[in-house]
Amino acid sequence: MNVLVRDLSEKTLKELKRQAAENKRSLPAELKAILDERADQRRHFRKWSKNVNRIFNELKSSGQKFPDSTEIIRRHRDG
């Protein structure tokens, strides 16, 4: 799929071209790499977040009580 991006600032375009040159890529290849990496990060974050929520809900529904982390942090901080 092709995507058209309009009205990038000169500052942004200059930085992207510099980054592409540093990575020995064309500007379109650099933009594709940036977008692919960002999409991968979001996918991993959603998976991680889903697992954290699942674990939290399992612990919460287990009836087990957990101390308030604020108190634990204060004890360690104060001494």
Distance linking the first and last C-alpha atoms of the chain: 58
Q: Are 66 and 58 in contact (CB under 8 A)?
A: no
Determine the pLDDT at residue 19. 98
- Which range among 53-57, 60-64, 67-71 has the greatest average pLDDT? 53-57
What integer is the mean pLDDT of 5-32?
97
> What pTM value is reported for the model?
0.68
Contact 20, 27 (CB under 8 A): yes
Check residue 11 and give its pLDDT.
98
Helices (H), 1-79: 10-22, 27-61, 69-78
> Which has more pLDDT, 16 or 64?
16
How far is Cα 15 from Cα 13, in angstroms, rounded to an integer? Answer: 5
Domain ranges of the chain: 11-78
The pLDDT of residue 65 is: 81
Using DSSP's 3-state secondary structure scheme, residue 24 falls into coil
Predicted confidence at residue 63, as pLDDT, reads 86
